Structures are given as C-alpha cells and as structure tokens.
Structure 1
Amino acid sequence: MPLVLFILSFATALAPMQPVQAQNLFAPVAKVNNSVVSAYELSQRMAFLTLLRAPGDIRELALRQLTNERLQLAAADQAGIELEDEKLAEGMSEFAGRANLDTERFLQIIAQGGIAPETFRDFVKAGMLWREVVRAKFASRVNITDAEIDRAIAKAEPSTEVRVLLSEIVLPANTPQSAAASTQRAAQLAKITSLTDFASAARRYSVAPSKGRSGRLDWINLSDLPPAVASQVVSLAPGQVTSPITARNGIAVFQLREIQEINTPAASDVNLDYASYYIPGGRSPAALAVASKIRDEIDTCDDLYGIAKNQPEEVLDRDTLPLAQVPTDIAMELARMDNNEVSTALTRNNGQTLVFLMLCGRSRALEEDISRDEIVLQLRNQRLAALANSYLADLRADAHIEILEP
C-alpha cells in the first residue's frame, strides 16, 4: 500500500481510540540523567511510529528513540548548536514530502489519529540537531582518499561483484551496564590484527551463534551488507577490524579475512523483502522448539500468515525496505541468507522474544553511471553514520538511564 494511503487509513483507524488518561499524562516512564520521558510522549511516539510502519516492538523502539533523543539534544545544547525555525520547517516539509504531502496536510492527517503537531516537530527537530552535532564533531575527521574512491568505483562497476569473508564478534548491550562494558571491550577488540587472536576472542566473548565457529562467516556479497558495515569493510586489508558498530541490543566488530571479485553484476540499490515472526520465551528451549516446528511446516514467507492466523497482528511483520533502512542486526542476518531461509539468532524485548526471521526475496537495481562525487558523498555519509552510532553508544554508556515500570 502506498504510504500516503496507509497514513490516511491508519489515522482513520486511530480516531476512535481513547486518549491517555489525564492523570497519567506526565507520569515518567524513563529517566535520562536530569530529564524524564513522560507517558504522554511515549504514547505519542508509539502512535507516530505505528503510522510510519516501523517494524518490531513499537514500545521498545519508541522508548529507545526518546531516551536517545534526550542524549542527542543534550549534546547539541552542550555544543551550542541550535536550529532555526526556517530550517526546521524545511525539514518537516521534506519529511511530509516522502508521503507526497505538504506539511499542513500531513499534520491534518496525523491529527485525525490523535498525534499532536509537537510530536512530529520534536521528532524531526531531534534528528536534524543530531545530524548537525555529528557534522560539527566528526566532519573534519572524515577524509576520503582517491584510492578509496577508486576501490569503491571498481567494486560498484556492473562487470563485477565483490564478496568478502568476515569474522564477527557480537557483544551484549541490552542494558546500560552491559553496553558500557561492551563499548570498552569492543574498542580493544578493534585493535586486533591477527586472525588467530580474533578467533580466540570470538570464542571467548561473542554472544552470536557464530562463536562456535570462532566467529567465522561464509562468503557474503559486499552489496548485501548493511551500509554501516560495508562502508568500513571496503577500506580494510585482510586481518584488519572495523570500528565498533552499534546494533539493537548489541555492539559488533568485524574482521576481514579475504576479499574476492566474482563475475556477477554488482548491485547498488538492494531491496529486502523479509518477515519477522515473534515467539515468546527468547532463546529458551521451548521457544526454540516452536521455531524448529514452524521451520519444518513452512516453505515460503507467505506460509507464515497461516501460522499467525488468529493471533495478534503484531506477532508478524512483513517488510520490503531498501537495505539502508533495515536495522543493522537484521540486515547482517539477511546478508548471509538465501530466499526462504530462516534465522533464529536474534531476540527482542531484552531477550524475552525470539525473532523467527525469514528472507522472502532480494531485488537489485544495477547502476548505469558512476559519479566520483556521488561515491565521495556516499562514503562520507556512511563514515559519519558509523561515527554517529559509536558516539551515541558512548553517550548511552556514560549516561544514567532508568527505565521505569509502565
């Protein structure tokens, strides 16, 4: 369904819903250093994310976004960065334009679902301020060399595809305490230059299923990797390790073991069609047994609709997204999968929900013209995104974040 039609239908569906009870409007649901997130803000963000068709646990995602934004806004304030009203209006207009709407019409539609204009404004403002913080802090550190541009162009030309052999170490970050410890450990792991040392560390520290294989992954096409990973891998020599990469509930580092060109057309724009079926119980034997039973009963993603029949709608998500918009942990799992293959390596809800992840299809668009300026912009944005994720992980590790009971 086109986004504009979905927004219209969603707003209509939300209209009869009851508002948050007045006495609970300002009840805190989280504390972030000296600020709080209110129940009203959380309910508004959840409604807004539902409108945007955000995948996964909406409450968990909304709460994490709001706590992150408290840290991001504090960083902007500390850096003396402000956003002019005119710039904010442009940002809101650009966002509404993604649904082929102007700002006024977009606000009218979301208002039908009880979403306040301030919710939309604050969402856009936080994102724009954070981008300015990242540019101010890191832009001077991102230097793209001619050699890197040449390598990126060579790897994007339609005559070849590049595939890589990687090893991974995934560290837990599902609580502020584990995130702080994992951030420090990941920084040390990123300094490893030996394949043997990395394999030993993977067996010792990694929480990914690949730890039993010393972190070693099979061949993966570079174009299938999430941008946050591919942008770092492309400049590595064998044995070198990426900077820490933050994903949901985890911090990862990847070591390049080997790189190879193959005679397959390279893809620039990869769209992923995938399904996520959520099973209570995390990685408990009972939940894994349910996943195994489902795996034996289905052949394609469409079969999951039968599995989810008569269950709450949120038990199954089906998404078709550009690779750049897929959450990093999901994108890494999908990168190593063929159509209709299944992974049960991921969890949500602080490990309490098992994700039965299935790749439904992968479509690719091939580039016809390659511009050096476009390559520079892509590499710079990818590097900045990686630095931003690492900086945000540091802010979370240093912050006092307390999630209160609903």
Structure 2
Amino acid sequence: MPDVTIRALRGLALATLTALAAPAALTAQSLFSPAITVNGDVISYYELDQRAQFLRLLGAPANPEELAREQLIEDRLKFQAAAEIGASVGPEDLRAGMEEFAARADLQADQFIAQIGQAGVSEETFRDFVEVGLVWRDVVRARFLSQARPSQAEIDRALGTGGQGGLRVLLSEIIMPLTPNNQAAVRARAEEIAQIKSFDAFSAQAREVSATNTRDQGGRMDWVALNELPPALRSSILSLSPGDVTPPLQLPNAIALFQLRDLAEITGSAPTYSAIDYAMYFIPGGRTADALATGQRIVNETDTCDDLYGVAKGQSPDVLRRESLPPSQIPDDVAMELAKLDPGETSLALTRNNGTLLVLLRLCGRTAQANEDASREDVANALTAQRLEALAASFLDQLEANALIEVK
C-alpha cells in the first residue's frame, strides 16, 4: 500500500472522523476538470481534494495537499505499470483489502466507509486507495521477486553461520512498569499504542509513559544486532514492516512494545553468544526518586561488575545476583536491556517484586558462538521484503523520471 498506510494510526478515532469538516468548496465547473495529467491519464481537482481529505482522516504527518498530489501521480504510474503486464485486482481481493484496512481502525469496511462518508470522503476514494496498493504489490512481485530472494549463502551470512554478515534492526521501545494498582490502565494504554503506525506518534508516547533510558530520545534505540535480542522477540521483529509495532509483550513487572524503524544486513562479522555474564543489584523503593538517586550514585562510583561486590558487602546475599546464562535462559526484559549495553555499562530501567525493587543491571561480558537460533525462513522473508521495497522504490523513481507529467 502507499507509504502513508505504513504510518497511519490503526486506532483511528471515530470522533475525529465525524468532526472533521467537509472538503473545501470547488466550483461545479472546476470540480472534475483536469488538474494534472500523467502520460495522458487525468487527475481531477476532485480526486486531489478527496485524497487530501482522506489523508487528513488518517493522520498523515505530511502536508495533506502535497502528499495527495505526490500519491496520485504515483498511483497513475503504478496503474500504468500494472496495465503493461496485465495485472489487476479482482472484486474479492479488493474487498478483502478494504476489510483489512478498515480492521486497523477496529471497523468493518462498511462501517469505515460510513464514517469517512460523514467527513465527505467517498467510497470510491477509499477503494482506489486500497486498489493501487494491491496492484502495485503484484507488479513488484512479478518483476522483482525472483531476484529479491536471497541465496542459501546469503541466508547463512545473515544468520552469522557463514562467518560473515548478519541482520541488525533499528527499534524504538516503550516499557511501562506494572504495579498492583495500575495494571488495567497500563494494559489498556499498551493496546492503544500497539495500533500506532507513525514514528512521531510512537515517540511522543515513549516520552510520556516509558520508563527506559531511551525515554528522552522518544524511545529510539541505536542499531542492535538481531542475534542480541531475546530469542522470543526475534521472530516478532522480523514479521514487522517499518512503522509497525509489536503487540504488547508481557515482561516481569512491565509491558513492552517495540516499533521497527529499519532493518539492514550487516556486512561485517555478526557473532552470537553462548553465554551472557551480568549482575543485578536490587535497591528498595522501586522507581521512586530516592531509589533512582541511589542507583545513579552506585553507577557513578563503580565501573565493573566486581565493584558491585563491595557495594553489597555486609548486606543480605539476595541483594546482588551474578549470572552467566545462555541467551535463551535470560528473562526477556533483562535480555532486552543487556542488548543495549556494552560490557561495564548499566541500566536502571527494570524493577522486581511488583515494582518495589529497582534493578541496577550491569553487563559483565559476552561469550560468542555461531548463531543457530534465528529461523532461516524468517530471515529469508525479511531479506526478500527489504530488497523488494528497495527495488520497488527504484522502479517507481524510474517510471516518474520517464513520465510526461503536466500540471494544469
């Protein structure tokens, strides 16, 4: 589908749909007159106005009028490319696509059509918007699928089993602590956030509700190797397209959501790990200001995991835990934080005991091995999707560069 569908909000508020004003008035004479022609195919002022209004309802982050113009020009080029190879979308597939799109707003297609109709957007505008995405997908797969599929050697490199390569992902995160008193509210908020498609909207939520060190950066994490993520999270991440958000993930004392911003192949070596060595020092008070201040003081005064033994001296043995475990045996929330750390670095994002204990988590070291955990099929699909996206973008740029586009 067009790019805005990647960024559109699933949780499309019905109140917003019904409250928006009708499209700007156009004279009857100019309404259906040509605004743009693309290789002789006409785009009318009416289509421009309808698409812009539809994009407003979807919460498009760019200027709706400019984006409508760009999209409709691209739509004509996509339909022309489809006509050249005889590609089309049947009524049943089109209806299924409309139902799938409407489901992102928790609606059936007829309900969605009724709601946008109250804001002055026609069913035809919605149908055309969905149809072009479906037909373009078929065009891209027909032209490029064979060359986009990775070889077995390329999959080996992506898995790290061929001695080189791997996959890395660029994620944004939201971690919301759970307490006995906030569970219903946190879970409801997480379900709302899971519907987000916009990078900016997800970052705004992260700044407001996330408890991690990335909060001030809108939840944006640095690139992380796929094989450094918890095994349970890898397949979820590989199934996402940029802008997609995972379903809410249950962690000890927290709910987590991750948004995929990008995925790329690693050209250098990408080791996986047979064991991760880490330390957890527990501070009473949970995420209170006093506990966080104590945690930060310990971070400032120590450099290594061994230094924490001095901090814990004279206290209960339970106050400090040192583990060296295979990645698959590490709790997901701990593994996620460790993936962001270099040896000696520390996180204060986690809690235990129903949120009453703050966890000072420090990465001590990693023991490398060949990666055997990621699914070959998942990696192959992710590489194929990434390459198809790049080939499609290049092909569309070529079509536009060769097109005769006249603005009236």
If the length of structure 2 is used for normalisation, what is the TM-score? 0.51
One-letter amino acid matched to 2:367:
S
Q: Specify the alignment match of 1:194 in structure 2.
A: 198
1:268 CA drift (Å): 4.0
Please list every run of 5 or more consecutive structure 2 residues that lacks an aligned counterpart in the other structure: 1-147, 381-408
Q: Secondary structure at the match of 2:172?
A: strand
- Check the 8 A contact 1:282/1:353 in 2, yes or no: yes
- The reply to whether residue 348 of structure 1 matches residue 325 of structure 2 is no
Report the 3-state secondary structure (helix = DSSP H, G, I; strand = E; otherwise coil) of the residue aligned with 1:207: coil
Instruction: Name the residue aligned to 1:166.
Output: 171
Aligned pairs (5 A) from 1:100-249: 155-157=158-160, 158-175=163-180, 178-249=182-253
RMSD (CA atoms): 3.0
Cα 1:351–1:231 change in 2 (3 A) is same
How far apart are residue 323 of structure 1 and its match?
A: 1.1
- Say which SS state the counterpart of residue 233 (structure 2) adopts: helix
Give the equivalent residue in structure 2 for 1:334: 338
Q: Is the 8 A contact 1:281 1:287 kept in 2?
A: yes
* C-alpha contact 1:156 1:268 (8 A) present in aligned 2: no
Distance verdict in 2 for CA 1:149–1:353, change over 3 Å: farther
**In structure 1, what is the Cα distance between the partners aligned to 2:149 and 2:298?**
48
Report the counterpart of residue 28 of structure 2 in structure 1: none
Residue 317 of structure 1, CA deviation:
0.2
Offset at 1:325?
A: 1.1
Of 253, 257, 264, the match for 1:260: 264
Q: Which amino acid aligns with 2:248?
A: P
Alpha carbons of 1:314 and 1:178: their partners in 2 closer, same or farther (altered >3 Å)? same
Match for 2:287: what amino acid?
A: R
Distance 1:332 1:371, change over 3 A: closer
Give the residue type in structure 2 aligned to 1:194: S
Contact kept, 8 Å, 1:223 with 1:270, in 2: the verdict is no
Quote the residue 2:324 is aligned against: 320
Structure 1's unaligned 5+ residue stretches are 1-145, 380-406
SS of aligned partner of 2:184: helix
Shift of 1:298: 2.0
Question: Partners in 2 of 1:275 and 1:211 — Cα distance?
Answer: 23
Distance (whole Å) between structure 1 residues aligned to residue 256 and residue 150 of structure 2: 23
SS of the residue aligned with 1:314?
Answer: helix
Distance apart, 1:340 and its partner CA:
0.6
**Residue 268 of structure 2 aligns to which amino acid in structure 1?**
T
Contact 2:172 2:258 in 1 (8 A): yes
CA spacing shift, 1:277–1:174, aligned 2, 3 Å? same
- Identify the residue that residue 137 of structure 2 maps to in structure 1: none
For residues 148 and 232 of structure 1, do their structure 2 counterparts lie closer, same or farther at Cα, with a shift above 3 Å needed? farther
Query: How many Å apart are 1:304 and its aligned residue?
Result: 1.3
Is 1:220–1:336's contact at 8 Å kept on the other side of the alignment?
A: yes
SS at 2:182's partner residue?
A: helix
In the TM superposition, what whole-angstrom CA distance separates every residue of 1:263-284 from its partner, at most 9, and x where no partner exists? Answer: 3322344421000011122233
The 8 Å contact of residues 148 and 235 in structure 1, kept in 2 or not, is answered as: no
| Identity %, equivalent residues | 44
Against the structure 1 CA distance between its residues 347 and 172, is the aligned structure 2 distance closer, same or farther, given a 3 Å change threshold?
closer
Deviation at 1:229, TM superposition (A): 1.9
Corresponding residue for residue 360 of structure 1: 364
State the 1:307 CA deviation.
1.6
Pick from 287, 292, 315: which aligns with 1:283?
Answer: 287
Secondary structure, in 3 states, of the residue corresponding to 2:176?
A: strand
Bigger radius of gyration, 1 or 2?
2
Rounded to whole Å, the distance in 2 between the matches of 1:174 and 1:339 is: 30
